[in-house]
């Protein structure tokens, strides 16, 4: 079981790095939004500091939505998804490996580059730490919840709009806790509470969504 998980994970990473042009699109989108924001809002340092965490979190959420479209689409079209569904390994585990690989190649770069972009908003050091922590704990939940939607819409043509509509209500709690905690950190408060809650959402998503994703994939294949 662990071996199958590792096999799928490694294959996903290999495929992702062979076509890195697809990989950088969400990252470029994230960077563009986060650099345009300070330019458009203007010189007022106080306002920038206040909107910074929220803007960066929204950009991260939208960049995730952008990348989720292709999570299962290609596997659906080239038949690898049905081959995965016909193995003896639990489908939920194999899809979790795919989702984890998706997080590593699309979300982790966002987390890494976020501190640099936070400078553009003039965020204090404590705020930057808070932002990175909340993104690190919160973005796995975005990938996991997103995988369910991506699995449901894998067989549909032109479903990008539908996917966004499906996922936005489910991802809003992550956004609220993440952005709010990052803002609190910037004001010098302790963020242990919201961070734990965010971790709780991620754990909940980790335990429940793989089964939903597997069921959704079976429906899409039918």
Residue 118 and residue 125: Cα distance in Å, rounded? 9
**Closest CB to another protein among 5 and 29?**
5
Minimum CB–partner distance for residue 130 and another protein (Å): 38
Instruction: Name the token pair of 65.
Output: 């939505």
Minimum CB–partner distance for residue 15 and another protein (Å): 5
End-to-end, the C-alpha distance of the chain in Å comes to 25
- Is 187 a binding residue for another protein by CB under 8 A? The answer is no
Write each residue from 10 to 29 as x if it is in contact with another protein (CB under 8 A), else as -, in one continuous string: -x--xx--xx----------
Closest CA to 92 of 220, 212, 193, 222: 212
Minimum CB–partner distance for residue 9 and another protein (Å): 12
- Is 82 a binding residue for another protein by CB under 8 A? The answer is yes
Radius of gyration of the chain (CA): 18
Instruction: Name the token pair of 129.
Output: 């730490």
| Neighbour-count burial for 68-100, b at 16+ CB within 10 Å, e otherwise | bbbbbbebbeeebbeebeeeeeebbebbbbbbb
**Closest CB to another protein among 77 and 187?**
77
Phi, then psi, of 155 in degrees rounded to 5: -90, 0
**Closest CB to another protein among 20 and 42?**
20
Applying CB under 8 A, the span of 63-71, 82-90, 133-141, 179-187 interacting with another protein comes to: 82-90
- Is 40 a binding residue for another protein by CB under 8 A? The answer is no
Residues touching another protein, count (CB under 8 A): 21
Minimum CB–partner distance for residue 61 and another protein (Å): 28
**Closest CB to another protein among 5 and 41?**
5
């Amino acid at each position: 079981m662990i071996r199958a998980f590792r096999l799928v994970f490694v294959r996903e990473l290999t495929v992702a790095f062979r076509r890195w042009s697809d990989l950088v699109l969400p990252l470029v989108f994230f960077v563009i939004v986060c650099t345009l924001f300070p330019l458009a809002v203007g010189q007022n340092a106080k306002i920038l500091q206040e909107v910074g965490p929220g803007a960066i979190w929204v950009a991260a959420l939208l960049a995730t939505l952008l990348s989720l479209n292709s999570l299962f689409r290609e596997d659906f079209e080239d038949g690898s998804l049905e081959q995965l569904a016909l193995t003896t390994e639990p489908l939920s585990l194999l899809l979790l490996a795919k989702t984890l690989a998706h997080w590593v190649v699309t979300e982790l770069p966002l987390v890494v580059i976020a501190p640099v972009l936070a400078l553009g908003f003039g965020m204090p050091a404590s705020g930057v730490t808070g932002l990175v922590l909340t993104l690190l704990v919160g973005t796995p939940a975005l990938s996991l919840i997103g995988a369910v939607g991506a699995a449901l819409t894998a067989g549909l043509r032109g479903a990008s709009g539908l996917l966004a509509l499906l996922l936005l209500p489910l991802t809003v709690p992550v956004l609220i806790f993440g952005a709010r905690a990052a803002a609190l950190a910037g004001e010098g408060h302790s963020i242990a509470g919201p961070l734990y809650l965010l971790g709780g959402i991620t754990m909940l998503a980790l335990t429940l969504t793989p089964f939903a994703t597997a069921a959704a994939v079976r429906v899409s294949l039918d």
